[in-house]
Chains A and B, each alone.
Chain A
């Protein structure tokens, strides 16, 4: 449980912006003070117009919590989204942005948890899971982990090269990637690739790869995605409180 209540607004400086996919950019922020983070947490950003109008949104931290004065947030461009379009179209390195965080203490993973885990991401739902995986990679103990990723098309797969490298270097980490719409030629040649929505059978395959039952599952994605995966995990007998979820979107 987080007992740190220092959730004052901080004025962060954008230090880099880069494309993760046609619709997602990563923004790195320098923070004015050290922040004690857990993998899976998020930050709020607040934008204020010259006439005083304010709005705010939450974005998952993708960087490892070991980096305390600098965080990375992945922001997807949403059609008509006033905050995401400002980030995608206006924000540049050097800009100042008000942020508040870290927020959320439940959907978090700590490397001292060495029991096997299942991570399941739909689309940009991979963001908090990437923070967990980056944290895991730099820790001496590596919990057996299988990551399931569902994206629409190949260009929508986020952090792909980094995750592939992690997988090559680490025998305790496996992934299954599925594309729900267009798949490239020869996509299914590798047996870790699928071309359908994540279903019960695919989850069973992931658990076989894990070699034992997961002690917890972290599921992040759109509402429909998380609802369906949550039901499958209950169906295979996982305990309700071992399934941690983060949903987004209407």
Chain B
């Protein structure tokens, strides 16, 4: 439906198209369902679970000792803002799996976080360089309100999939909804297909 007297403010300096319904944001908004949890890197641990048992774990120091990967990318939040040209550093899921000597299982993964947040992702969307654990944003330690010390980053999906304060990946044969997916958000969340809510 056209709003006849609406013209919008398209950015003349936009370097490339952004997904439908999004606007370009220069700031870095914070959207979380709860307060920012206090996370202590001295006791922090990241684990991978398969079939109910923990098959690999890394301390903060162990994570930092792994090969580090830089990524330059755009991010898209379901609340309509997109932030272009962001720089992150961390460890790819490929690197973690290789370090643990695990072949990527088929199926799905559920990310678990401090504070209890969860989100589901197909395994195919976090391997082959598509997903990583990041601890650095724009050259600085990732701020707590943005998910520090460590968040997931899966930039080709809406940002609620890039779980903040991530602590665990649980591999599953069947897909299951995470936190927002259980409240009607899309199971997959592709911003280019505008998969915001369950029936999009």
Contacts and interface: CB of A to CB of B under 8 A. Distances in A.
Contacts of B35: 219, 226-227, 230-231, 233-234, 240, 243, 245
Nearest to B3: A47
Given A5-B198, A5-B199, A48-B3, A107 B33 contact: yes
Interface in B113-160: 115-116, 145
B8 A53 contact: yes
Interface stretch (A55-63, A158-166, A185-193, A196-204): A55-63
Interface in A90-135: 90, 96-98, 100, 103-107
A9 to B, nearest CB: 8
Contact of A231 (B26, B36, B79, B184): B36
A49 interface: yes
Majority secondary structure of chain B interface residues (helix, strand, loop or mixed): loop
Contact of B2 (A8, A49, A245): A49
Chain B interface size, as a band, is 35 or more
Contacts of A98: 1
Contacts of B30: 223, 226-227, 247
Contacts of B116: 240-241
Contacts of A11: 1
Contacts of A245: 32-35
A56 B21 contact: yes
Interface of B: 1-10, 20-23, 25-38, 79-81, 115-116, 145, 179-180, 182-184, 197-200
Interface of A: 1-2, 4-8, 11, 46-50, 53-58, 80, 82, 86, 90, 96-98, 100, 103-107, 219, 223, 226-227, 230-231, 233-234, 240-241, 243-245, 247-250
